Amino acid sequence: NILECIALGVDMFDCVMPSRNGRHGMLFTWDGLMNMKNKKWENDFSPLDVKGTSFVDSTYSKAYVRHLTVANERLAAQIATIHNLAFYLDLVTQARKHIIAGDFTAWKNEVLPNLSRKL
C-alpha cells in the first residue's frame, strides 16, 4: 500500500501499478477499487469518478468504460491509466498536505478502509 510506504519514509514511486491495473480494468478511487469488468457497471451512466481530478472522470461514464474494457478496446486501458495516474497524484498530494499538517497517521487510518474496499 502506497500510504504504508509513505509512513515508512518511502518518497519515490513508479507508475507501474496504476498503469498495469488500468490495463486490466481496475480503477482506484477514494471510495475503493472498481473492477470495470463487473456487470454492475453495465448500465451505470454516471461519471467515471465524481471525486476524480482528471478530464476522463467527468467525460466518460462507468458504462462506457465497462463496454470498452469488456470489448478489449485499447481506449479502455488509456482512460483507466489516465484516471489511475491522476488518482495517485491526488493521493500523494493529499498525503503531503497531511504530513505537513502533522496529522498524516490519523488521515491514513481514516482513508485506508475505503481505499482497500472493492466496489
**Segments forming the whole domain that contains residue 74:** 2-113
Residue 118 lies in a domain: no
The structure's pTM equals 0.92
Q: Fill in the DSSP letter of residue 36.
A: T
For residues 102 and 71, give the distance between their C-alpha atoms in angstroms, rounded to a whole number.
46
Domain count, the chain: 1
pLDDT (tens, 9 = 90+) of the chain, 119 residues, equals: 899 999 999 988 777 889 999 999 999 999 999 999 999 999 999 999 999 999 999 999 999 999 999 999 999 999 999 999 999 999 999 999 999 999 999 999 999 999 999 99
What is the amino acid identity at position 30?
W
pLDDT at residue 53, rounded to an integer: 95
pLDDT at residue 13, rounded to an integer: 79
pLDDT at residue 75, rounded to an integer: 98
pLDDT at residue 12, rounded to an integer: 84
pLDDT at residue 59, rounded to an integer: 97
Integer-rounded Cα Rg, in Å, for the chain is 15
Q: Which three cell numbers stand for residue 6?
A: 509513505
Q: Cα 92–96–101 angle (5° rounding)?
A: 145
For residues 18 and 78, give the distance between their C-alpha atoms in angstroms, rounded to a whole number.
11
Q: What are phi and psi of 110, to 5 degrees?
A: -75, -40
Residue 119 lies in a domain: no
pLDDT at residue 79, rounded to an integer: 98
